[in-house]
Amino acid sequence: MNTFPTSGLPLSEPIDFLLADVAIRVQLSATNHKLAVARYEAVNKWIERPGSPLEGCVDVFYAQGSMAIGATIASKLVHDEFDIDLIAQLNLPADTPPHRMLDLLEAAIRGEPGSRYHEMTVRCTRCIQIRYADGMHLDVTPMVRLAHLPERCGFIFHARHRHEDRDDRRIVANPWGFAQWFMEHTPAELAFANVFEARAADYEATLFVAKAESEPVPDLVAPHRKSMALIALQLLKRWRNVQYDQREGRCPPSVVLAKFVADNANCTRTLSEELLHQAKQLKLAFARAQLTRELIVVSNPACQSDVFTDRWPEGLEAQGAFLSDLMVLVRKLEQLTGDCDLATMQQILSDLFGERPALEAIRAFNRRAGLAIVQGESRHVPGSGRFDIAAGGSAAAATAITTGAAAASRVTPKHTYFGGPAPR
């Protein structure tokens, strides 16, 4: 194994440091999290403004999906674009035609010509999207509560056109319930969460160095306590996006990956073990489905009528393509966690997660490892990814590398769980 001698620290192997740093570089930073919260609070107030078509109609407005569980990563491979998914629970009749429900929300957000969101608003098949100049998107999905179903469970609405169509439908969904279930099944390991947050904060602080003389550095409080399962989910989403970046058609929905990760969490000791374990479980599930020539079905444990696989996979070919990807992923992760030198690690990490975050993670690791070597606390074993830590200095050296230059956020293709732009 690529390993430091056992130190009792939550990150004890070079590959664990590197995977953590890749995840930090592709996730939503604490700064962007604050910005997203400020923006969706502003949108909530705007939708309910006097004269809005939805004035007095919003029962509750909340984050859903990756934003709700702390798993948001950038929606593009090259540019820092983040999709923030929101629910607007509306006090409207449940039998409102789907296209009409989207009409009302679109009108409430778009507003009059010259108003704040008028030129930023895009209608999609299940949501209204607000596109900011910095690349952040807010996807607002209208929902009507169904009182006979579990808490916050209701209809969301699917309509491709601005007029009634045979494809229009109401879909039972409970994203709030799923978020609660996911967090219950992936509790943060305190030691890991503390180390991961320290690395993220260190990296993000470096982003403000150039501005430090003229602007105060913001308070960098991590928005979520991270579990290894949650970081594995972010890495799996990033890997999926790399695989599907140039492909036609839909990619596996983030919520499907999240369901599998939560089902199989809390079984490992290290981040690399967790990621490999989760990849193997996904491979096993999809291999079984493909063997029986059945499409995999994944439902919301908080509401069985909420089917996450309603639009993907479209057929056995799409399912088989994902299974082939998973087989390669498992093979490469097994290589990463074996006897693997840093150059090979960098190549595999680039293949799996993209060149930029992999290269930045390797550079950050080398800086911290080099410092530990200079201080006489660590010694690199040539030709391998192993570092031996000098006697008496193991805790200090490991801590220096663990809490040093880390990685904050960037990176991935937009998931298609709530649909693309609708034809005008």
Q: What residues are labeled active site?
A: 83, 85, 139
Contacts of 164 (CB under 8 A, 6+ apart): 97, 99
Question: How far is CA 384 from each of CA 40, 53, 387, rounded to the nearest angstrom?
Answer: 47, 64, 8
**Dist. CA 424–CA 378, nearest whole Å:** 62
Place of tokens 């910095």: 134
**Dist. CA 158–CA 340, nearest whole Å:** 48
Contacts of 111 (CB under 8 A, 6+ apart): 46, 52, 117, 118
**Dist. CA 220–CA 156, nearest whole Å:** 35
The type of residue at 11 is L
Q: Which of 65, 55, 146 is nearest to 105 (CA)?
A: 55
Question: Is the distance from CB of 106 to CB of 130 less than 8 angstroms?
Answer: no
